[in-house]
Amino acid sequence: MQTRSVAAGRGWQWLVEGFRIFRKQPLTWIVLMVVMVVIWFASIMLPLVGPLAISLLSPVFLAGLMLACRTTDEDGEPELGQLFAAFKTHASPLVTVGGIYLIGNIVTVGIVFGVAGGTALPTLMGKSGGDIEATRAAIRGLLLGMAVGMAVFMPVLMAAWFAPLLIVFKNTPPIAAMKISYTACWQNMVPFLVYGMAVVVLWIIASIPLMLGLVLLLPVLVCSIYASYKDIFPAEAVAPPAEHPLP
C-alpha cells in the first residue's frame, strides 16, 4: 500500500484541516464527542471490566468517528449512528487492534514501575516519612521509568494510529494494518513531532477556562487524525469501506 512522506509543517496543517472539517458540522461533532466521553466515563466506572472493555473497543469507536469524518469532509451530514457503524462491519479486526494496544499499555506500565522501583510511588505519596533524599530518588526513578516506558509505548501508538482507518476504509487485516501504520508514522516522524507539540500547546490553552475549550478541541483532534490519513494515504482516503455484516 502506497504511503508518502510529507513536510514537517504538515503536522500543524492536520490540525488546521481538522478544524475545517469540524467547522462544517460543529453541533453534530460536539454531540458525537459528548456521547463518546459519556461512554468512556461510564466504562471506567465499572471496576476492572469497564477499563478493559473500553480499551478493546476504542478502535471500533474510532473507526466509526473516521466514517463520520469522511462524511463531513465530503459535505455530507454525519449521524450519531456512525459512531457504532464499525461494530456491524469490522468489529473483530478492530478489537484485535484494541487487544494489542491494551497489551502494549500494560507492558508499558509494568516497565515504568519496574524501572522506577516498587517504592517510588509510595514515597511520592508521602509514605517515606518526609525523607527528602528518598523523595528525590523516587522522582528520578519515576522520570527514568517514564522515559523508558515512552520509548516502548511509541511504537505501539504508531502501529495503532492508522490501523482502524486502514481496516474500515480498505478492509486491511489487523496485523497488516498495524505494520503499515507503523511504517507510515516512521516515515513521517518529524511532522508527527510537530503535530504532537502543537497538540500539547492547544490542550494546555483549552484547559485553562475550566477545561471548556476541550469541547471544541476534542472533535478537532479527532478530525485531524482523518486529515493525517488523507495526507499520508492520499489514494486510499476516497475508497468506500467494505461491508461484512455479522451473521
Tens digit of pLDDT for each residue in 93-131?
999 999 999 999 888 888 877 776 666 666 666 655 556
**Per-residue model confidence (pLDDT) at position 164:** 96
Closest C-alpha among 194, 190, 169, 195 to residue 180: 169
b (16+ CB within 10 A) / e for 89-123: bbbebbbbbbebbbebeeebeebbbebbeeebeeb
**Per-residue model confidence (pLDDT) at position 237:** 44
Report d(CA 216, CA 245) in Å as an integer: 34
Report d(CA 94, CA 27) in Å as an integer: 27
With vertex at residue 30, the alpha carbon angle to CA 43 and CA 232, rounded to the nearest 5 degrees, is: 90
Closest C-alpha among 33, 38, 69 to residue 54: 38
Contact residues for 146 (Cβ-Cβ < 8 A; gap 6+): 112, 116
Show me where the domains of the chain are located.
10-232
Do 227 and 21 touch, CB atoms closer than 8 A?
yes
Angle formed by the axes of helices 163-170 and 49-73, nearest 10°: 60
Report d(CA 68, CA 80) in Å as an integer: 8
Using CB atoms within 10 Å of the CB of residue 145, give its burial: 0 to 12 exposed, 13 to 18 middle, 19+ buried.
Answer: buried
Query: Is residue 240's pLDDT more than 50?
Result: no
Tens digit of pLDDT for each residue in 185-213?
999 999 999 999 999 999 999 988 777 88
Closest C-alpha among 41, 90, 42, 43 to residue 62: 90
Phi, psi of 111 (to 5 degrees): -65, -45
Split at pLDDT 50, 70, 90, the class of 139 is: confident
Tens digit of pLDDT for each residue in 1-13?
788 999 999 999 9
**DSSP SS3 for 88:** helix
* pTM, full prediction: 0.85
